[in-house]
Amino acid sequence: MFRHNNVVYTVWPKRRVAVVEERDQMTSFPSLLQAGHDRVQEFYDLKPLASERVAGHEADVLMMRPKDAYRFGYRLWAEKSTGLLLRTETLGSRGEVLESSAFTDVAIGVRAQPETVVQPVKKLDGFRTIHSTQVSTRLESEGWQLKSSVPGFQMVSCVKRPFDSQQQAQLSSAEQMLQTVYSDGLTYVSLFIEPYNADRHTRPMVTAIGATQTLMYRQGDWWVTVMGDVPASTLRLFAAGLQRKK
């Protein structure tokens, strides 16, 4: 994967396929707090812990404890002079580490070298290039509503888009899905709504990989996927509040 500004290139060399898409949301390490806002401390208690070295840099260690059971906690290592996140840990209800991300080496204050990204993506001759597009919309305009909100979470985007990059690279038709993203300023929950397909959507399920919880279920003629780095009970609240407008 190569990213230049908001354009992301996902390349499968063996299959000679490249997917090009725009991503205006930066919701993961090291941009965890980029889309945050001043409401974060309504839902998390912030406590400085110590100073430690990460990837050769001095970092302030901060603890973000959730004030309710709707979200996980975080331990953050922020570089002292710039605030750049050098390491993050997502913590479960008992303080256990569910997921960890960190730099092993990072250079701060050096000249940017965009050619290291731009040059490889120019060498895609012979690849089948798929341009993934998304169109801004509103949940209500697409015939849906979230009748009850989850405390602290506000909608930050709603788009119609093709299936995710890997699926689209395998499918001959670019079916559309609706994606709505909610945030509490620190973490994110995504709702994906697509037409039900018995070949792909075999049974409802709940899965967990690290901190990422996923809830999938059928709602009438639609298949709904709710995903986020939050407890599964939070995903169930989103699912219970989602309704098809009559």
Is 114 inside a domain boundary? no
The enclosing domain of 210 has a CATH number of 3.30.200.100
Indicate whether 228 pLDDT > 90: yes
Residue 241 has pLDDT above 50, yes or no: yes
**What pLDDT, on the 0 to 100 scale, is given for residue 30?**
58
Residue 222 has pLDDT above 80, yes or no: yes
Q: Has residue 56 been placed in a domain?
A: yes
DSSP letters, 146-204, are ESSPPTT-EEEEEEEEES-HHHHHH-SS--EEEEEEEESSS-EEEEEEEE--TTT----
State how many domains the chain has.
Answer: 2
The encoded tokens of residue 10 equal: 């996902």
What is the mean predicted confidence (pLDDT) over 108-133? 83
CA-wise closest residue to 219 among 199, 241, 187: 241
Range 142-160 average pLDDT:
91
Q: Are residues 145 and 237 in the same domain?
A: yes
Q: Which residues contact 142 (CB under 8 A, 6 or more apart)?
A: 160, 178, 193
| Cα 80 from Cα 53, distance rounded (Å) | 10
Measured at the CA of 35, the angle between CA 49 and CA 232, to 5 degrees, comes to 75
- Residues 145 and 228 placed together within one structural domain of the fold: yes
Pairing of strands 17-22, 128-132: parallel
Q: Kindly report which listed range (10-19, 68-77, 170-179) carries the lowest average pLDDT score.
A: 170-179
Spell out the long-range contacts of 205-212 with Cβ–Cβ below 8 A and sequence spacing 24 or more. 206/232, 206/235, 208/232, 210/90, 210/98, 210/99, 211/72, 211/90, 211/98, 211/99, 212/99
Lowest mean pLDDT among 38-42, 84-88, 184-188: 38-42
- Domain membership of residue 142 (yes or no) is yes
Asked whether residue 141 falls in the same domain as residue 183, the answer is yes
pLDDT digits (tens, 9 = 90+) for 172-205: 344 689 999 999 988 999 999 999 999 989 999 9
For residue 243, what is the enclosing H or E element? strand 242-244
In this structure, the answer to whether residues 82 and 144 fall within a common structural domain is no
User: What residue numbers bound the domain in which 52 lies?
Assistant: 41-102
Q: By mean pLDDT, which of 55-59, 107-111, 241-245 is the weakest?
A: 107-111
Q: How far apart are CA 32 and CA 16, in angstroms?
A: 32
- Are residues 213 and 141 both part of a single domain? yes
pLDDT band at residue 132, thresholds of 50, 70 and 90? confident
C-alpha dihedral, 176 to 230 to 76 to 156, nearest 10°: 40
Same domain, 53 and 142: no
Plot region of 210 (φ>0 → left; ψ -120 to 50 → alpha; else → beta): left
**207 falls within a domain:** yes
Report the first-to-last Cα separation within the chain, whole angstroms. 41
Single-letter code of the amino acid located at 14: K
Quick check: 97 pLDDT over 70? yes
Which of 102, 126, 148 is a domain's end point?
A: 102
Asked which of 30-44, 77-91, 108-122 is least confident by mean pLDDT, the reply is 30-44
pLDDT at 39: 75
* Domain presence at residue 150: yes
Q: Are residues 67 and 147 in the same domain?
A: no
Order of all β-strands in the sheet with 2-4: 2-4, 7-12, 17-22, 128-132
Helix, strand, or coil here: 105?
A: coil
Question: 89 and 140: one domain?
Answer: no
The mean pLDDT of 211-232, rounded to a whole number, is 96
- 32 versus 124: the higher-pLDDT residue is 124
Q: Quick one: which of 118, 246, 121, 243 has its CA closest to 193? A: 243
Residue 159 and residue 89 share a domain: no
pLDDT at 143 over 60: yes
> How are the residues of the chain apportioned to helix, strand and coil, as percentages rounded to the nearest 5?
10, 45, 40
Q: Residue 13 falls within a domain, yes or no?
A: no
Within this chain, do residues 87 and 187 fall inside the same structural domain, yes or no? no
- Do 93 and 181 belong together in one domain? no
The pLDDT value given to residue 25: 55
Please tell me whether residues 166 and 232 are part of one structural domain: yes
* Residue 166 pLDDT > 60: no
At residue 90, the 3 state secondary structure works out as strand
* 84-88, 128-132, 202-206, range with the lowest pLDDT: 128-132
Q: Average pLDDT of 1-6? A: 81
Average pLDDT over residues 220-230: 96
Q: Please check whether residue 117 lies inside any domain of the structure.
A: no
